[in-house]
Structure 1
Amino acid sequence: MGKEELANPLETEKISKLFLRYLIPSLVGMLLMAVNLAVDGIMVGNRLGPVALAGVNIAGPVYTIFVGLSLWLGIGGATLYSQAMGRKEKKRAQFIFTHSILLIGLGTLAIGGLALFFHEPLVYALGANEETAPFAAAYMNVFLLFGFVFTLENAASIFVRNDGNPTLAMAALVTTAFSNVGINYMILYVFDLGVREIAFGTIIAAFLGLLVLSSHFFTKRSQLKFVRVKLDVPLAKQALTFGFPSFLAEVGISVFTVSHNIMFARLAGTVGVAAFSVLNYVHGVMLLMFLGMGAAVQPIVSYFQGANEHEKKRQLMRLAIRTGFIVGAVCFVIGQVAAVPIVNIFGDFPEEVKDLAVTGIRLFFVAYLVMGVNFVLMTYFQSIGEVKVATWITAGRQIVLMLVFLLTLPFLFGVQAIWLAIPLAELAVLCLIIIYLKRSKIRFGERRMF
């Protein structure tokens, strides 16, 4: 068996086996990373209290934006990389890889340094008040200085997965997750330190994950190789175009967090922000799981697109859409049944915080019934180069429609209606996607999916 076959099982395996080959490592890795984020919240909430937890949550969009930057060029570059490999253009693929990693590292350093000069007004712009600002600033400033570690780890994980090694990408996420929990436990419970040190612990954990990923370059299956490059403006534009929906998705997470923090602060004060912080940590777990499904679909679809294997694409998408719906339905049921214990594990909060958070989980989890399907469909359009469609799906569900519902419903029906902005936006977008698929006569499998 040649090296090409070893590196690309996409050419020989059955679709169901191939999907599981990518799905299981992606889901396991993302779920462990999500649990890691939740455990971080649990430890901060129990050790430092609800105000510190709210401060960390307020600073969260900075982390999200940095991840978004890595996804913008990472997913964009990896999509072009896989399409080039599907066309058997190995040298072009290696150039795309090197070019993408270089731009990601330099771009993150530049943006982080610039934002650090404006860190104080930035904290308040993210929704902090006098109580939460010290915690938010302490956490945020560390990420502004060392966020490039996250972007490089995330981008390397994407390319390693696209290079036919999803298991190693999962191992890196497992390493990051477990080391982060261990390091932050020592910081909080052994050394009795605070939020700033928690941020440093998270950076160190990401660096350890990056070390694991680097081992891929020494394996026989690796097609990734750093080559000499110079700035290729058309390539950069193409990568930015292909990766824009992923970047917009991360921006959407920040818009979601900031807008909900502001709305809860306005209508329910610190109690509302603390309750939303609990939901936001739980939502991070679910979101990463759906992102794992997208991460499983993207390398396969991109490769099939480059190889002109259109029937295989349709078979894959039919399977992925069903999986997305089933996973979302399971998440919905968990939210209805286990809302109270989920809230309780984040700390002994006042009853008003608990009550608001429990209601929030039960209402918000309605979104998961359709969110998985929306994620899979957005990833499909992005992976085949239909960037406009992928962009309006992302903008609609995470920014435009979400803000429309958020800025109207609470003033008509009260603070609890804040929780419904995302579920209604997800449902509305799925309806629009179905209409688009029918009008475009796009089929997944022998029969139309919708």
Structure 2
Amino acid sequence: MEKKILRKFAKYVSLNILGMIGLSCYILADTFFISKALGANGLAALNFSISIYCIIQGLGLMIGIGGATRYTILRSKNRDKEAKKVFSNALTIGLIVSFILAIIGLIFSRKLSQILGADTDTINMSNVYLKTILCFSPFFISNNILLAFIRNDGDPRLSMTGMIVGSLSNIILDYIFIFPLSMGMFGAAFATCLAPIISIGVLSIHFIKRRNNFKLELIKPNFKIVSKIISLGMSSFITEVSSGVVLMVFNLIILNISGNIGVAAYGIVANISLVIIAIFTGIAQGMQPLVSEGYGKKNKELMNGVLKYSIILSVFISIVIYIVANIFSKEIVAIFNSENIAELTMLAINGIKIYFVGFIFVGINIISAAFLSGTSNVKPAFMISMLRGFVLLIPIAYILANIYNMNGVWISFVVAELLTFIVSVWKLYADKKVMNNKDL
């Protein structure tokens, strides 16, 4: 049984890590090409915009992961008729939300750029990027919903393929639009927006080959189903959106300390961090179908085994990342510092060395929230996500930045994740104790 669990875990998690790295490279590719074409101001403008991208992705993940979790639990309990209704409700509510975001992008993108911290040097670039990605919200959100449902419908390989093909397309289109076609910031944004459309094209194979156990039906959204989707996906939403909120808060704090150069340095650290967090999110999303299946079938051995392997893998990856980042910090920063600005280099290298300590705790925090959510323990999952995303990090950042300036900004991330880690371990222990003493 142990070997069977390990094989299933390795299959789902490896595919999802690869896929999530691909998905996170949407922004990393923009960061690289924009740094080459538009310099420090371009990097700063992109960094002001990424927080909104995180919110769009967060909404897609909330509806996708929440819906797919509910779908898997119902199918595990042989309630197929109810399970089939979940997808239609998820996609319908996702499209409604995304069209609202598109309208916001058309009307308020410039004002939004100013609120996020863009100044006269960055406002036009930030406005163009924001308006473009908001107008393409329906595709970002629909892609995330399809990825989650297809993965939970027994085809994690196709889900991974969709993410990877979308990401590779983004990298190629970024280069073409920014350099040969000289489309600047719009080119970077447009390349990113075409990626989920290409991914959806790949995912459509699941329906063309009739592998799907779910299909879209024209229905009026069911409040009970939608509320269940949102509650199960809330921790995924908070995990993703917290990255955006942290970006907004840190940008505003750093502007007062080091100006646009400081924001550009943070942009390098933050965008690399998004890829690393994507790895841990990949572990969490890979374990989620298995945990939900175990919960639905009352299989404690499967749930406990998946959780154990997830934590071991997370700790191993975090240690490797920290060692590699410290050894090659100068080379990593140089990739994104095309103008060779000495202050930018110094700030970013120092940031990597301090900020990345927090990843030792991040993985376990994300996995804990995903495990609790996958077993329908919504409240503790929500608490963990809120602590690391908002409740602890924002006040700690303001306090430490006032005392230690830029070092305080970097340290605040580590402190917030450490404190959340303590709560995560406590909640996991309490949940497992209850689980082992009751009939699921």
Q: Deviation at 1:34?
A: 3.0
**What letter matches 2:68 in structure 1?**
A
Q: For the residues of structure 2 that align with 1:115 and 1:179, how far apart are their CA atoms?
A: 24
Change in 2 beyond 3 A, CA 1:176/1:123: same
User: Which residue in the other structure is 1:417 paired with?
Assistant: 408
Q: For the residues of structure 1 that align with 2:29 and 2:249, how far apart are their CA atoms?
A: 24
Answering whether residue 237 of structure 2 is matched by residue 255 of structure 1, we say no
**What letter matches 1:171 in structure 2?**
T
User: Which residue in the other structure is 2:20 paired with?
Assistant: 30
**What letter matches 1:372 in structure 2?**
G
Output one character per residue of 1:99-130: Cα deviation in whole Å (capped at 9) or x when no partner: 11111012110232135322222111112111
Alignment of 1:36-435 (within 5 A): 36-219=26-209, 221-346=211-336, 347-435=338-426
**Greater mean deviation of Cα atoms: 27-36 or 81-90:** 27-36
**What letter matches 1:337 in structure 2?**
I
Identity of aligned residues (%): 26
Change in 2 beyond 3 A, CA 1:115/1:204: closer
Whether the aligned pair in 1 keeps the contact of 2:101 and 2:137 (CA below 8 Å) is no
Q: For the residues of structure 1 that align with 2:32 and 2:65, how far apart are their CA atoms?
A: 31
Whether the aligned pair in 2 keeps the contact of 1:256 and 1:398 (CA below 8 Å) is yes
Tell me the SS of whatever aligns to 2:433: coil
Output one character per residue of 1:67-99: Cα deviation in whole Å (capped at 9) or x when no partner: 111112111111100001111222221110111
Q: For the residues of structure 2 that align with 1:285 and 1:250, how far apart are their CA atoms?
A: 12
Whether the aligned pair in 2 keeps the contact of 1:58 and 1:136 (CA below 8 Å) is yes
**What letter matches 1:353 in structure 2?**
L
**Greater mean deviation of Cα atoms: 381-390 or 307-316:** 307-316
Output one character per residue of 1:364-387: Cα deviation in whole Å (capped at 9) or x when no partner: 010111111111111000111111
Q: TM-score, normalised by structure 1?
A: 0.93
Q: Deviation at 1:63?
A: 1.2
Q: TM-score, normalised by structure 2?
A: 0.95
Change in 2 beyond 3 A, CA 1:223/1:73: same
**Greater mean deviation of Cα atoms: 266-275 or 32-41:** 32-41
Q: For the residues of structure 1 that align with 2:428 and 2:3, how far apart are their CA atoms?
A: 28
Q: For the residues of structure 2 that align with 1:437 and 1:32, how far apart are their CA atoms?
A: 30
Q: For the residues of structure 1 that align with 2:143 and 2:206, how far apart are their CA atoms?
A: 13
Q: Deviation at 1:441?
A: 5.8
Q: For the residues of structure 2 that align with 1:429 and 1:415, how far apart are their CA atoms?
A: 22
Change in 2 beyond 3 A, CA 1:438/1:250: closer
**What letter matches 2:90 in structure 1?**
S
**What letter matches 1:82 in structure 2?**
T
Output one character per residue of 1:171-195: Cα deviation in whole Å (capped at 9) or x when no partner: 0011111111111111112112210
Whether the aligned pair in 2 keeps the contact of 1:87 and 1:307 (CA below 8 Å) is yes
Output one character per residue of 1:251-287: Cα deviation in whole Å (capped at 9) or x when no partner: 2111110011001101111111111111111111111
Change in 2 beyond 3 A, CA 1:440/1:387: closer
Tell me the SS of whatever aligns to 1:31: helix
User: Which residue in the other structure is 1:16 paired with?
Assistant: 6
Q: Deviation at 1:12?
A: 12
Q: For the residues of structure 2 that align with 1:405 and 1:112, how far apart are their CA atoms?
A: 34
Whether the aligned pair in 2 keeps the contact of 1:64 and 1:251 (CA below 8 Å) is yes
Q: For the residues of structure 1 that align with 2:223 and 2:184, how far apart are their CA atoms?
A: 44
Q: Deviation at 1:444?
A: 9.5
- Alignment length, in residue pairs? 436
Q: For the residues of structure 1 that align with 2:270 and 2:213, how far apart are their CA atoms?
A: 38
